[in-house]
Amino acid sequence: MFPESCTDYGYEACKATSDWLLEQAPVRPLVGIVCGSGLGSLAGMLKDQKVFMYNDIPNFPQSTVHGHAGRLVFGTLKGKPCVCMQGRFHLYEGYPIHKITMPMRIFKLLGVQVVILTNAAGGLNQDYKVGDIMVIKDHINFPGFAGNNPLCGPNDERFGTRFPCMSDAYDRQLRQLAQEVGAELGYSNFLKEGVYSVLGGPSFETIAECRMLNRMGADAVGMSTVHEVIVARHSGIRVFALSLISNKAVMDYTSEEKANHEEVLETGEQRAQQLVKLVSTLVSRISQPADL
């Protein structure tokens, strides 16, 4: 079992929340979708919606960031049962890392088999442009280097093994499928694939930090997603994740550019229609039970 400080995020708390949701939800979801900053419109693609405000869900964290609506939406997409988080949780909001990743464990207990995570990120790769979509193939977990990992503490085998593998964290088949779908939709000129690095935030990165991250092999940098990926994979959920490059990281000391949250939200709004099309088509292609 979890230590006393973690009981609010442990198996019994997650089970109570998932049972409460399943009693009221119209579907038992097979796909979970997490909307990042400015990308909440992804939830609008679900049909026959049932909406729960985060503050009405037992044990659920509350979203405090502008651009995160704080709603859990159940419905169907291309006939496939889904659940969508309009807004996620971050370390910089002050939540313990076990709390911000709790929704992934609730997803598992709801029956989710594939999770699609989206985020807005700063572009480190100099070939990237604002508005590009990066399919994440790997990550660098900097908070984890300091021991801030969502799997720290006693392991509960009801969720997963003590030492889960992360070399296959981002599902290769789903990544390939996304590239095929992107080509069919005519998105190849702005659909990339790369490595996502996570920092704690909420301050944006310094020039020196961006240079270091880029030299270490990171193509984009953000403040979310990785912790959720680790817990999802620990729970046996397949993961697909993408970053919307909402701004270019500043790596030149002579530059007058400054990263800001308004630019992040604006870029999300501009690219929203293509993101919805990409994600919805991807989900339609994994609709057969054999693919799950």
Residues marked as catalytic: 37, 68, 90, 92-93, 120, 223-224, 247, 261
Q: Is 58 within 8 Å of 17 (Cβ atoms)?
A: yes
DSSP state of 92: G
Q: Give the SS3 label for residue 8.
A: helix
Which residues have a Cβ under 8 Å from the Cβ of 14 and sit 6 or more positions away?
Answer: 59, 102, 105, 106, 109
Alpha helices in the chain, H assignment, sequence order? 11-24, 97-100, 102-110, 142-145, 172-185, 207-215, 226-234, 261-285
CA–CA distance, 174 with 224 (Å, rounded to integer)? 20
Which residues have a Cβ under 8 Å from the Cβ of 277 and sit 6 or more positions away?
Answer: 185
